[in-house]
């Protein structure tokens, strides 16, 4: 996070201009800065990552009831965005290697009703974008990437916001780059940008002109100012997280029963947002849930990312319970995300690893 003084200095002028929101100076500046930072044609800022995804889907005007192929191994937002657009999520299993959607299982799920694929670059692991694009071309599908975990990453030197027909980022407080709450859509062209502009601002195009039906999903000036400040420290934050991650790997790699397979793709410039490990209960002698509880008793707060699977959540009753998703179910049961943030000290890291081993 940027220093307090820097942020305070930045928001001072808002008390003079009284321009607190509605595409103010900071909003517009952040859009421009992100466009060049992420090397994407267009960035549309939103109030949060979820609305970025919901509006991206809405922008394509899919007919209600159409099917969207997606992953069950993600934050609930991914599926909610599909359903809230009156579309039907069709869940595809994931890969054991990097937990992203299994591109070899997508085609089997395509029907005449399929209109889009919503893959997730989970934990900053980049999906097989080449194969997904091929499938999308073959069946004339749109691809909207949930890139909430992949801010600032590149794949083969290309900014990840460039893949698919749109990509969304989340700038929630818990993400590597934050605007307190916030998000963005990377749009391939001005037409998509304009659609999103209308969707996020009630379709208002003039004091007496509403051109389309829309919601309110704008980013305010305080969030945009936070973004402008935090962007200056993003590289630094990633570098610190990289060092911490490497230390984790060094200490945990030799531990029996703990499987670490993070940051393995040499084509990806990672942002080191998450540090998931897999616990093999047979070899480790404890289940993932045991480990979670024991860490918690020692004031170490890990996360069961992502458990339960989206398809098993209470809100869906038993709608998706019988789906065959063996890999996603197994990963979900064995995965645990360890604490990872730039200010995590060496001694805290040692204590986490020591407690784990004990
Ligand atoms: C954080 C997140 C979102 C939603 O972003 P918000 O800014 O919290 O609305 C969507 N998808 C994934 C994978 C996320 O981690």
Residue 209 has pLDDT above 90, yes or no: yes
Query: Residue 93, Cβ neighbours under 10 Å: how many?
Result: 22
Cα-based angle 69, 115, 309 (whole degrees, multiple of 5): 15
Task: Tell me if residue 185 falls in helix, strand or coil.
Answer: strand
Each residue's pLDDT tens digit, 7-58: 999 999 999 999 999 999 999 999 999 999 999 999 999 999 999 999 999 9
Average pLDDT over every residue of 113-139: 98
Overall pTM > 0.85 = yes
How would residue 303 be classed by pLDDT, with cut points 50, 70 and 90? very high
Instruction: For residues 94 and 266, give the distance between their C-alpha atoms in angstroms, rounded to a whole number.
Output: 20
Q: What is the pLDDT of residue 175?
A: 97
Q: Given this model, what pLDDT does residue 181 score?
A: 98
What span, in angstroms and rounded, lies between the C-alpha atoms of 24 and 227? 14
- Ligand 1 is surrounded, with C-beta below 6 A, by 48-50, 74-75, 77-78, 120, 146, 148-149, 170, 172, 183
Average pLDDT over residues 317-332: 94
User: For residues 93 and 65, is the Cβ–Cβ distance under 8 A?
Assistant: no
Cis previous bond, 343, omega within 30: no
Distance in Å, CA 17 to ligand 1 centroid: 32
Other CB atoms within 10 A of residue 349 CB: 18
285 in helix, strand or coil?
coil
Task: Tell me phi and psi for residue 143, to 5 degrees.
Answer: -120, 120
**Does residue 254 surpass a pLDDT of 90?**
no
Task: Provide the pLDDT for residue 79.
Answer: 98
User: In 67-206, which residue ranges form alpha helices assigned H by DSSP?
Assistant: 77-83, 129-139, 190-200
Mean pLDDT of 118-143: 98
Task: Please name the residue whose Cα sits nearest to atom 6 of ligand 1.
Answer: 49
Q: 358 pLDDT exceeds 90?
A: no
pLDDT value at 217 more than 90? yes
Match 């962007």 to its residue by tokens: 231
Q: Of the residues 72, 172, 182, 306, which should be mutated to test ligand 1's pocket, given the most ligand atoms within 8 Å of the CB?
A: 172
Confidence band, pLDDT 50/70/90 cuts, at residue 321: confident
With a cut of 90, say whether residue 157 has pLDDT above it.
yes
Rounded to an integer, what distance in angstroms lies between the CA atom of residue 223 and that of residue 171?
9
Confidence grade of residue 322 (pLDDT, cut at 50, 70, 90): confident
| Residue 190, pLDDT score | 98
Model pLDDT, residue 202? 98
In the numeric block, which tokens belong to residue 306? 């992502």
Return the ∠ at Cα 316 (arms to 93 and 104), rounded to 5°.
10
Helix (H, G, I), strand (E, B) or coil at 101: strand
In tens, the pLDDT along 80-113 reads: 999 999 999 999 999 999 999 999 999 999 999 9
Cα–Cα nearest to 143, from 176, 175, 186:
186
Give the pairing type, strands 204-206 and 209-210: antiparallel
């Amino acid at each position: 996070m940027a220093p307090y003084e820097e942020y305070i200095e930045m928001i001072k002028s808002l008390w003079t201009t009284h321009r607190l929101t509605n595409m103010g100076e900071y909003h517009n500046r952040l859009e421009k800065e992100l466009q060049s930072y992420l090397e994407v044609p267009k960035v549309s800022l939103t109030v949060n990552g979820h609305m970025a995804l919901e509006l991206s889907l809405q922008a394509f005007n899919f007919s209600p009831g159409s099917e969207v192929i997606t992953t069950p191994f993600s934050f609930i937002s991914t599926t909610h965005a599909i359903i809230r657009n009156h579309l039907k999520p069709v869940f595809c299993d994931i890969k054991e290697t990097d937990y992203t959607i299994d591109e070899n299982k997508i085609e089997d799920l395509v029907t005449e009703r399929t209109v889009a694929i919503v893959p997730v670059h989970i934990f900053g692991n980049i999906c097989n974008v080449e194969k997904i694009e091929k499938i999308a071309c073959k069946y004339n599908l749109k691809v909207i990437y949930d890139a909430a975990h992949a801010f600032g990453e590149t794949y083969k030197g290309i900014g990840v916001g460039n893949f698919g027909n749109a990509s969304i980022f989340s700038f929630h407080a818990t993400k590597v780059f934050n605007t307190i709450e916030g998000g963005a859509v990377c749009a391939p062209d001005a037409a998509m940008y304009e659609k999103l502009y209308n969707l996020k601002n009630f379709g208002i195009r003039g004091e007496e002109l509403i051109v389309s039906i829309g919601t309110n999903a704008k980013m305010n000036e305080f969030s945009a100012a936070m973004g402008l400040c935090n962007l200056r420290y993003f590289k630094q934050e990633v570098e610190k997280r990289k060092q911490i991650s490497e230390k984790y790997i060094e200490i945990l790699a030799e531990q029996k029963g703990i499987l670490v397979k993070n940051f393995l793709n040499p084509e990806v410039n990672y942002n080191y947002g998450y540090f998931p490990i897999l616990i093999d209960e047979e070899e480790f002698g404890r289940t993932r849930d045991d480990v979670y509880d024991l860490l918690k008793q020692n004031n170490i707060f890990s996360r069961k990312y992502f458990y339960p699977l989206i398809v098993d959540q209470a809100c869906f009753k038993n709608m998706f319970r019988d789906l065959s998703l063996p890999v996603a179910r197994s990963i979900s049961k064995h995965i645990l995300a360890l604490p990872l943030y730039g200010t995590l000290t060496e001694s805290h890291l040692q204590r986490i690893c020591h407690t784990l081993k004990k």
